[in-house]
Amino acid sequence: MIQIIRGVYGLYTDGKVKAKGPGSEPFSLDPSREAELVEQGVAQYVGEPIPLVGFDEIPPELPEDVTGIPEYSLENTAKELREIGKMCGLDFKATMSKKEMIAALDEHIDAHWVASVSMDDLDEAEDGEDTPIFDASDAIV
């Protein structure tokens, strides 16, 4: 199920075309068409859980020369954001604002990537103190 977030989409139902815009209720289309509209930045998925990578699933692979997705913000240039988008397999239209590119990157990364944290990262907190590790026996019922 998707909702239009930019522009207007003509939804053909009951022999008529109904305009769907940012204020319209969500609707369903063929999954490939929904994915196309989301990829174009015209719509966003709603009402469905975002697929997360589980223990038995393999996350998508980064290109060989990429070891991770760099941090990005509005302080980046549009050219830098486009390069980061290419690393993720996204192509941004020339008319997209930096804010729109960041939103598309955020959505793509949230939907397709899982941050990897090693046990070494968990062992030490930012203030230098050991981070406590709890297990199920420490739970309070």
Model pLDDT, residue 55: 47
| Calpha distance 109→87 (Å, rounded) | 11
Could you tell me how far CA 119 lies from the centroid of its own chain? 25
| Calpha distance 110→56 (Å, rounded) | 19
* Per-residue pLDDT tens over the stretch 102-132: 998 888 877 765 544 444 554 454 555 666 6
* Per-residue pLDDT tens over the stretch 28-81: 888 888 888 988 888 888 875 445 445 445 555 555 665 566 788 889 999 999
Please tell me the number of Cα atoms within 13 Å of 132 on its side-chain side. Answer: 3
* Per-residue pLDDT tens over the stretch 76-110: 999 999 988 887 778 888 899 999 999 988 888 77
Furthest-apart CA pair in the chain: how many Å? 66
Model pLDDT, residue 85: 85
74 contact partners, CB below 8 Å, separation of at least 6: 98, 99, 102
